[in-house]
């Protein structure tokens, strides 16, 4: 027993000494090479965040298994975490990609195993941050830049969505709802922000008519899919199914978020929620993000699952001119 105690004391002493040396090394880097230190600290913090997320996911899965819970019964934060795991089939973005992030990080972790090999990783981080690394290893400045880059890709499809919606509205048989929808599209195309009451006034058009997800034209569906970072080259049937699945998942998240309360979200969580729903928050204030998300929840939590098409279109209608 005394030998074990001595061994533990020796290990503890070695760990303490290593931490002290590492702290001095980091202080030296921060003082003498601040730009290099930023990359170094981003790398070490990213490794820790990656393993903490793996641990958190396992904990949530275990809880669901033991308590026999479905995803919709989870609290908002746990539901959002699992969504990040499942939705690895979409375009890489800051908050969606857990499995791809994990696979992408494995080679980086292997490279960093030999002594001083983390310097090679830091070189890769410097020259190819978006192509080779994951969100865990991006600096705060890179996070903003890359969010903007991915958002510019999906925003290219926003005018196409509104134009396709305006064209589809012409084929609607009922004159009064048709005119309301055409006015709404013209308002958005003219640069104005629609009101919640205007969207709710046309909700009946998106469930059983030509504007339901399963009856939209293929090009229209592909444009909507790009809003949610879905691959546009899938067959129309699979694309419609995936689009509906993603939109209804956001609807479930919205109800969990309403139960939690917007006031409980951190600034990072608030911005992540806006980005998922079509709004790029990187250049908006926190109050602007909160006001937009309140409007979104006011719409989403009023709609039924059969009105998923309106919710998908609202990602564009509410974001384009905000």
Which residues have C-beta within 8 Å of that of residue 115, sequence separation ≥ 6? Answer: none
**H helix runs in the chain, sequence order:** 2-32, 34-67, 76-86, 98-111, 118-127, 129-132, 140-155, 158-169, 175-189, 196-201, 218-227, 236-260, 267-276, 286-300, 308-317
Would you list the DSSP string of 243-297?
HHHHHHHHHHHHHHHHHH-GGG--HHHHHHHHHHTT---TTS-HHHHHHHHHHHH
Quote the domain boundaries for residue 266.
144-318
pLDDT in tens, 46-66: 777 777 877 888 888 888 888
* Domain-located, residue 106: yes
Q: What angle do CA 228, 230, 235 make, to 5 degrees?
A: 135
Same domain? For 153 and 83 the reply is: no
The answer to whether 246 and 93 are in contact (CB under 8 A) is no
> CA-to-CA distance for 27 and 21, rounded, in angstroms?
10
* Domain-located, residue 2: no
* Domain-located, residue 52: yes
Average pLDDT, the chain: 82
Domain count, the chain: 2
Of the listed ranges 12-21, 131-140, 169-178, the one predicted with least confidence: 131-140
Same domain? For 122 and 216 the reply is: no
Q: What is residue 38's predicted lDDT score, i.e. its pLDDT?
A: 73
* Domain-located, residue 9: no
Same domain? For 204 and 295 the reply is: yes
The answer to whether 290 and 309 are in contact (CB under 8 A) is no
The band of 88, judged by pLDDT with boundaries at 50, 70 and 90, is: very low
Domain boundary among 115, 138, 161: 138
* Domain-located, residue 220: yes
Same domain? For 113 and 187 the reply is: no
Domain boundary among 138, 159, 178: 138
> CA-to-CA distance for 57 and 218, rounded, in angstroms?
36
* Domain-located, residue 20: no
Percent of the chain residues topping a pLDDT of 70: 82
Q: What angle do CA 182, 226, 106 make, to 5 degrees?
A: 160
Same domain? For 275 and 172 the reply is: yes
Same domain? For 151 and 235 the reply is: yes
Same domain? For 197 and 308 the reply is: yes
Same domain? For 65 and 168 the reply is: no
* Domain-located, residue 48: yes
Q: Is 140 exposed, middle or buried (0-12, 13-18, 19+ CB in 10 A)?
A: exposed
> CA-to-CA distance for 213 and 189, rounded, in angstroms?
22
Q: In sequence order, what are the beta bridge partners of 93? A: 96
Same domain? For 181 and 312 the reply is: yes
Same domain? For 282 and 217 the reply is: yes
Same domain? For 87 and 212 the reply is: no
Considering 18-22, 110-114, 209-213, the range whose residues carry the highest mean pLDDT is 209-213
Domain boundary among 99, 119, 138: 138
* Domain-located, residue 44: yes
Same domain? For 151 and 134 the reply is: no
SS3 88: coil
């Amino acid at each position: 027993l005394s030998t074990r105690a001595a061994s533990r004391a020796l290990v503890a002493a070695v760990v303490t000494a290593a931490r002290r040396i590492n702290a001095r090394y980091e202080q030296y880097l921060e003082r003498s090479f601040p730009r290099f230190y930023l990359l170094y600290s981003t790398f070490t913090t990213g490794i820790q965040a990656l393993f903490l997320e793996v641990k958190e996911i396992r904990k949530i899965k275990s809880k669901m298994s033991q308590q026999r819970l479905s995803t919709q019964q989870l609290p908002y934060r746990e539901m959002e975490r699992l969504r990040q795991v499942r939705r690895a089939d979409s375009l890489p973005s800051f908050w969606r990609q857990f499995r791809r992030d994990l696979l992408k990080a494995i080679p980086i972790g292997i490279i960093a195993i030999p002594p001083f090999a983390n310097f090679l990783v830091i070189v890769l981080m410097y020259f190819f941050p978006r192509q080779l690394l994951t969100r865990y290893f991006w600096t705060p400045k890179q996070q903003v830049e890359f969010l903007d880059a991915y958002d510019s890709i999906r925003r290219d499809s926003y005018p196409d969505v509104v134009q396709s919606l305006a064209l589809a509205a012409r084929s609607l048989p009922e004159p009064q709802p048709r005119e309301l929808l055409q006015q709404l599209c013209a308002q958005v195309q003219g640069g104005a922000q629609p009101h919640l009451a205007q969207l709710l006034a046309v909700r009946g058009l998106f469930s059983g008519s030509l504007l339901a997800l399963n009856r939209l034209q293929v090009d229209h569906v592909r444009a909507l899919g790009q809003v949610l970072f879905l691959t546009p080259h899938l067959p129309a049937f699979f694309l419609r199914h995936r689009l509906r699945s993603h939109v209804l998942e956001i609807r479930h998240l919205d109800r969990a978020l309403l139960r939690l309360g917007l006031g409980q979200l951190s600034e990072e969580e608030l911005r992540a929620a806006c980005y998922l729903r079509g709004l790029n928050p990187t250049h908006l204030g926190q109050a602007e993000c909160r006001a937009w998300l309140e409007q979104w929840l006011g719409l989403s939590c009023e709609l039924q699952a059969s009105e998923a098409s309106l919710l998908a279109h609202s990602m564009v209608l509410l974001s384009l001119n905000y």
